[in-house]
């Protein structure tokens, strides 16, 4: 993995799903690009176009930039499509956003959401990524993975996230992931809420026990061309 594109429905999904990955490889010869399709905040407001809603979107984007900067990842792409309403956009529009980013960045590896998720925006991003990375496109993505997002992936009780790839993490990686997540002040609640430092650490320990490590981040390999 030399050029990795992480596609997220909303700011904070990238850190919850790939924060350990960011930390582990931030000093390696790996280039990351993060693409945010939705904005993640307007669904909490009766009027999505109100000043309060627009201010919340701007604030959350600033959290994302700061969190990613802690991993030496710069210049994330913010599309700011309406949170909780991605199903109101033609899927082709979302596909084109992803395709254009892939065409410009030319990643060898893409990480995206899982289809096994309680958040419908996440499912839409998964489906769109599958279409946008078909091997008939100009640039062929070699590896495609799904990541899990606490407070979403584990709450689709009818179907569970089924990882088949585990990346071992150090104590420092987990600390870096938790610190980055704490930057998202509007998204943090005390334990046992899943987006708490305690829950993030517990998840990484659980994935570690599955893979013979102290800590790990889990992914599902969707497709690989060899």
CATH number at residue 88: 3.40.50.10320
**pLDDT tens, position by position, 171-181:** 999 999 999 99
Tokens 């980013």 correspond to 101
CB 20 within 8 A of CB 64: no
For residue 139, pLDDT over 90 is answered with no
Does residue 53 lie in a domain region?
yes
215-224 sheet: strands from edge to edge: 77-81, 31-38, 3-8, 109-112, 143-147, 215-224, 165-169
- How far apart are the C-alpha atoms of 187 and 200, rounded to whole Å? 13
User: Does pTM surpass 0.95?
Assistant: yes
pLDDT of residue 138: 80
Residue 46: helix, strand or coil by DSSP?
A: coil
- Domain assignment present for residue 174? The answer is no
pLDDT (tens digit, 9 = 90+) per residue, 34-66?
Answer: 999 999 999 999 998 899 999 999 999 999 999
pLDDT tens by residue, 120-130: 999 999 999 99
Asked if residue 16 is part of any domain, the answer here is yes
181 lies in a domain? no
Interior angle at CA 198, CA 195 and CA 203, nearest 5 = 75
Which residue is listed with tokens 């210049």?
75
Give the domain range for residue 67. 3-168+217-224
What DSSP letter does each residue of 114-172 carry, written as one string?
-SS-S-HHHHHHHHHHHHHT-TTSSS--SEEEEE--TTTGGG-TTS-----EEEEE-HH
Residue 159 within any structural domain of the chain:
yes
In a domain? residue 179: no
In-domain check, residue 101: yes
Query: Per the domain annotation, does 61 fall within a domain?
Result: yes
Q: What would the two tokens of residue 65 be?
A: 């930039």
pLDDT at 136 over 90: no
**What is the overall mean pLDDT for the chain?**
96
Angstrom distance (rounded) from CA 3 to CA 208: 25
Count of domains observed in the chain = 1
Bridge partners for 221 per DSSP: 145
pLDDT digits (tens, 9 = 90+) for 3-27: 999 999 999 999 999 999 999 999 8
Asked if the bond preceding 192 is cis, omega within 30° of 0, the reply is yes
Res 52: pLDDT: 96
């Amino acid at each position: 993995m030399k050029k990795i594109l992480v596609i997220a429905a909303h700011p904070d999904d990238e850190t919850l799903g790939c924060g350990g990955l960011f930390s582990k490889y931030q000093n390696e010869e790996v280039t990351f690009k993060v693409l945010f399709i939705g904005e993640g905040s307007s669904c909490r407001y009766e009027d999505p176009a109100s000043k309060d809603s627009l201010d919340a979107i701007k604030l959350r984007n600033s959290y994302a930039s700061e969190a990613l900067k802690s991993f030496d990842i710069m210049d994330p792409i913010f599309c700011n499509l309406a949170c909780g309403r991605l199903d109101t956009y033609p899927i082709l529009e979302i596909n084109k956003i992803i395709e254009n980013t892939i065409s410009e960045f030319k990643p060898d590896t893409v990480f995206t959401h899982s289809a096994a998720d309680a958040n419908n925006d996440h499912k839409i991003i998964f489906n769109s990524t599958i279409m946008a990375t078909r091997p008939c496109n100009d640039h062929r993505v070699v590896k495609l993975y799904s990541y899990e997002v606490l407070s979403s992936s584990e709450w689709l009780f009818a179907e569970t996230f089924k990882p088949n790839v585990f990346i071992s993490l150090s104590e420092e990686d987990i600390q870096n992931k938790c610190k980055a997540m704490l930057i998202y002040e509007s998204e943090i609640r005390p334990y046992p809420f899943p987006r708490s430092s305690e829950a993030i650490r517990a998840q990484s320990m659980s994935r570690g026990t599955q893979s013979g490590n102290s800590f790990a981040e889990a992914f599902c390999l969707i497709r690989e061309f060899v």
